[in-house]
Structure 1
Amino acid sequence: MKTQVIINFLAGTYSLLNNTQWRNGTMVPDPWGEQPAGLLTYTRYGYMSAVMNSMEPEMRPPGIQWPPSNGGSIDDWALIGKSSLSYAGPFSLNTSVPLTKFSGQVLHGPVTTSSIPRLVGGIQRRNFTVIEQDGEVYLSIAVITTQVGAKSEIWWKRIAKG
């Protein structure tokens, strides 16, 4: 199957449902807590963006304002930074692994911009699985970080076709 057909199938905006994480085989708490929120967007033109954060009140200090000089302590801003992640850039499909429109590996990057500076310029490998059920499209993104024995499985629901 041609990669552009798969990219067109993936294109759209997805809403974050949940994120399950493990470290060395042990489940650990989600950094976005019990109330995660986020959007993942893939375009037909090969660009993506992801933003994830917690919606739990204790992780969202009320004094935060924009620009930062208008409110919020350093500790408040650190809490926001610790419980959120965003990045964007081009994406492609890894054709060196088995690839269908329902599973394969997507490569995010080289990352153009990110709330985590070390991600900029890097490639984020993401194994994906698409499930169509009852007229809905669900996307599972598996992230494996072998250096730290970490694994995440992030589930998204498509809310807009691209």
Structure 2
Amino acid sequence: MKADDIIAALAGTYSLINSTVWRNGTLQEPSSWGAAPVGLLTYTRWGYMSANMAATEKDVRPQNISWPPKETDPVGDWALVGKHAMSYAGLFSLNQSVPATKYKGQLLHGPMIAASVPAMVGAIQRRNYNVYERDDGTYLMVSVPNKDVTVRSEIWWRRVA
């Protein structure tokens, strides 16, 4: 299958289901996005992507702030929101050095054009992907390649469009 066909098959919008990390086979505490995160991941046919993830727990989502920020907003509240949310957008492509199908391979997210963390702008992230087609929809599992085989990180998404 050609790279353009794989990218076309992946194109769409996915809703975040969960983010999990295992260390030595043991499930770890929820990530920075909490136990019930929300988010969207979008890939376009034209090679652009965006990812947005945030925690939903009230203790990390202060209700007394709004957009745009006010001078009277507590800086600590905004820091808490920033610590438990992540957004980035940029180009994406297949890593041509890894065998790929529409069901499995490795993507390169980046270079990043915009990111909530300034150091991520211009960066390229490697992401393994697995696509699962079931009766109730299409699922995408994105994992972070890790040389430390004792750690496994997975982010699960469900296709919504």
- For residue 20 of structure 1, what is the aligned residue in structure 2? 20
Residue 89 in structure 1 maps to residue 85 in structure 2? no
Q: More deviation in 106-115 or 59-68? A: 59-68
For the structure 1 residues 95 and 16, does the alpha-carbon distance in structure 2 shift closer, same or farther, using more than 3 Å as the test?
A: same
Q: Could you report, residue by residue, the CA deviation over 1:120-140 in whole angstroms, capped at 9, with x for unpaired residues?
A: 111010000000000510000
Measured after TM superposition, the shift of residue 118 of structure 1 is 1.0
Measured after TM superposition, the shift of residue 69 of structure 1 is 2.0
- For residue 38 of structure 1, what is the aligned residue in structure 2? 39
Unaligned runs of 5+ in 2: none
Residue 112 in structure 1 maps to residue 113 in structure 2? yes
Q: Could you report, residue by residue, the CA deviation over 1:88-109 in whole angstroms, capped at 9, with x for unpaired residues?
A: 0010001111100000001000
Q: Note the 1:4-153 alignment, pairs <5 A.
A: 4-22=4-22, 27-69=28-70, 72-146=73-147, 151-153=152-154
Task: Please tell me the residue identity of whatever aligns with 1:108.
Answer: H
The 3-state SS of whatever aligns with 2:111 is: coil
Measured after TM superposition, the shift of residue 72 of structure 1 is 2.7
**Partners of 2:131 and 2:72 in 1: CA distance:** 42
Measured after TM superposition, the shift of residue 145 of structure 1 is 4.8
RMSD: 1.8
- State whether residues 38 and 55 of structure 2, in contact with CA within 8 Å, keep that contact through their aligned partners in structure 1: yes
For the structure 1 residues 146 and 28, does the alpha-carbon distance in structure 2 shift closer, same or farther, using more than 3 Å as the test?
A: farther
Unaligned runs of 5+ in 1: none
Moved over 6 A (4+): none
The 3-state SS of whatever aligns with 2:21 is: strand
> Could you tell me the percent identity over the aligned residues?
56
The 3-state SS of whatever aligns with 1:80 is: helix
> How many pairs align?
159
